[in-house]
Chains A and B, each alone.
Chain A
């Protein structure tokens, strides 16, 4: 089933509107100064974040909006602005919770970012070198964000709370910021001829 069909199928099952502008949707959320922790939760807190740190104001989509998640993207930044490996080099897992249901459960992410070079998909480059050195203007990037392309389409229906949880054993996330983006196909509200 294609992502377009799946979104229509799930929206139909839930009685949600299936009309609306079809588009590509990327949701993102930032956690500032996460430090060292065993658990990070994205899309839970929006307080104090600007439009450059998140494009949501609550952890649910609007009443006429829904989306299919195709990709999970994770990045960690030094406070200086350059990119770091997400959570260092230790193994971590990602879970996505939609409503009261865990739809992605403890999926390991470390393979997909880095130096191990064992990404799940075949198109991924090896994700970076061990050398973190950048030049004085910090315009050279030695690492890549971690990204996992999902094999099964995950639907976020309208007005259902969701969050992304990262678990580790004392992951080192630094004093800059960590960012999570969920990207895929979605529908946004379209007034059409209803106004």
Chain B
């Protein structure tokens, strides 16, 4: 298993980013919501409110900043601006099929994220609810994440990236269209490289 730091340095070396190794290693996450309902996330982040919708000003990192994507997760931003669980809004039969595009290259291909709870997400959070006309019972809040296996994927500095997605009904195969009250959000989490001026200023 290649470590996160080794992977970052390997890609940086391939791309000729000789100064990336001198920057501050950290942990980071970027998020955005497809409020335009366009089927892409992050591509229009520059128009979105910060931090209620996104935490980036544009969908590329500045000089000497990078993110090794180790987890991709999806959520829903409802009409009140709340972050809510995807299954709780769309139901268990929904499935997100997404690509992660970095530059002009597709790095994650047609990957499903099941509302019922995706592969890799063993440790689900339990919750209690009272169904209509029923007793209080235990239920699950499924997780909608992809934990990268084997190797994370590096988003290099100054390269645009975005997530392209479609939501389907896995039973019928029909497309489910999001609305303003059910806009899909995504975060990318992993090892981050932050710009560090220690040796230059």
Report yes or no: B93 in contact with A81, Cβ–Cβ below 8 A: yes
Q: In whole angstroms, how far apart are the Cα atoms of A31 and B137 in the complex?
A: 30
Tell me, rounded to whole Å, the shortest Cβ–Cβ distance linking B154 to chain A. 11
Task: Give the 7 A-B CB pairs with smallest separation, nearest first.
Answer: A52-B168, A50-B173, A185-B150, A183-B119, A81-B93, A185-B149, A55-B110
A/B interface sample: 17 pairs, CB < 8 A: A4-B1, A24-B111, A24-B146, A24-B147, A51-B173, A52-B169, A52-B173, A53-B168, A75-B116, A83-B92, A125-B126, A133-B131, A133-B134, A134-B131, A136-B132, A138-B92, A143-B140
Which of B26-34, B40-48, B59-67, B83-91 interfaces with chain A? B83-91
Instruction: Verify if A92 is at the interface (C-beta below 8 Å from B).
Output: no
Q: In whole angstroms, how far apart are the Cα atoms of A123 and B142 in the complex?
A: 15
Instruction: Verify if B151 is at the interface (C-beta below 8 Å from A).
Output: yes
Residues of A within 8 A of B91 (CB): 81-82, 137-139
For the A-B complex with A55-B110, A139-B91, A176-B93 known, give 20 more contacts whose Cβ atoms are closer than 8 Å.
A2-B2, A3-B150, A32-B171, A51-B97, A53-B170, A55-B112, A81-B93, A82-B92, A125-B124, A128-B140, A135-B134, A137-B91, A141-B116, A142-B137, A143-B140, A144-B116, A145-B114, A176-B171, A177-B171, A181-B114
What string of 1s and 0s marks CB contacts (under 8 Å) between A120-160 and chain B? 01011100110101111111111111010100000000000
Report yes or no: A141 in contact with B92, Cβ–Cβ below 8 A: yes
Instruction: Verify if B117 is at the interface (C-beta below 8 Å from A).
Output: yes
Report yes or no: B137 in contact with A131, Cβ–Cβ below 8 A: yes
Instruction: Verify if A106 is at the interface (C-beta below 8 Å from B).
Output: no
A-B contacts, CB under 8 A, total:
171
Tell me, rounded to whole Å, the shortest Cβ–Cβ distance linking A63 to chain B. 15
* A142 touches which of B109, B111, B140 (Cβ 8 Å): B140
Instruction: Verify if A111 is at the interface (C-beta below 8 Å from B).
Output: no
What string of 1s and 0s marks CB contacts (under 8 Å) between B117-148 and chain A? 11110111010010110100111111000111
Report yes or no: B109 in contact with A52, Cβ–Cβ below 8 A: no
Given the interface pairs A3-B150, A142-B139, A184-B149, the reply to whether A79 lies near B105 with Cβ below 8 Å is no
Q: In whole angstroms, how far apart are the Cα atoms of A75 and B150 in the complex?
A: 25
Given the interface pairs A2-B1, A24-B108, A141-B87, the reply to whether A30 lies near B170 with Cβ below 8 Å is yes
Residues of B within 8 A of A43 (CB): none
Q: In whole angstroms, how far apart are the Cα atoms of A24 and B146 in the complex?
A: 8
Q: In whole angstroms, how far apart are the Cα atoms of A145 and B174 in the complex?
A: 21
Instruction: Verify if A190 is at the interface (C-beta below 8 Å from B).
Output: yes
Instruction: Verify if B106 is at the interface (C-beta below 8 Å from A).
Output: yes
